[in-house]
Structure 1
């Protein structure tokens, strides 16, 4: 099914999906806020009252912002240099799956799997950067 779409379209869709994945952990935070009683006057002050899973969900949400920018830059570099290929498509898909698993593992308190998924997602981003540089004619040795 992935081959029916152009590599460029898949990269753009991957950026959009990555943006949505940033907010996935916040579903758990919202649920927990309802459980403990949401305080409109001081929403950040209630963080310490949240259950541990919701605190971890908040941290997963924050980390998702930190990984979104490099992934987006790398994907756009591939897009702009027209270096899209089956490798860049799979790197983008691997990033998305890794980031989904990262959030699930963080919320579920599975630190080793969380760390592994972080590394896999980071490597996928590095692959995109390397191929984007090659597409720009700057990374022949990569």
Structure 2
């Protein structure tokens, strides 16, 4: 695997929030694009929409540290194959996280989140150790 693989993973991770919000917006009739946040606030009993929105927000939260980890690891001279492997694992876990969020499978979702977070920590730690 190469850095190109890791860069593709960054692109995929950047697009994931929009995949999950697509599920939120199509999860109930009467979606209002004029005022989507007010529409979402009215979806109190629609747990599918709420879970899809939560996956959307969580994907945004996870993206910046992941992208920073990939870039910093590369700048620090970490082996590109290790960066790519961690990036692929991160994306697989983040896709699983979103699917598990939509399916309301809490424990596995939390495990997927933890694994993805571990990939980010590993990327950042490798960058710090390699730069020292």
Runs of at least 4 residues off by over 4 Å: none
Q: Find the counterpart in structure 2 of residue 63 from structure 1.
A: 58
Q: Which of 113, 125, 132 does residue 130 from structure 1 map onto?
A: 125
Higher normalized contact order (CA 8 Å, seq sep 6+, divided by chain length): 2
Unaligned stretches of 5+ residues in structure 1: none
Residues 43 and 49 of structure 2 are in contact (CA less than 8 Å); yes or no, is this contact kept in structure 1? no
Q: Tell me by how many angstroms 1:41 deviates.
A: 4.0
Larger CA Rg, structure 1 vs 2 = 1
Match of 2:69 among 56, 68, 74: 74
Aligned residues: 130
User: Are 1:14 and 1:96, in contact at CA under 8 Å, matched by a contact in 2?
Assistant: yes
Of 31, 36, 41, which residue of structure 1 is paired with 2:29?
36
1:87 alignment partner in structure 2: 82
- Alignment partners' CA distance in 2, 1:110 and 1:31: 20
Q: 1:98 aligns with which of 68, 90, 93?
A: 93
Higher mean alpha-carbon deviation, 65-74 vs 20-29, is at 20-29
Q: Which runs of 5+ in 2 are unaligned?
A: none
Query: Could you report, residue by residue, the CA deviation over 1:92-132 in whole angstroms, capped at 9, with x for unpaired residues?
Result: 11100110010001111011011000000000111111111
TM-score by length of 1: 0.83
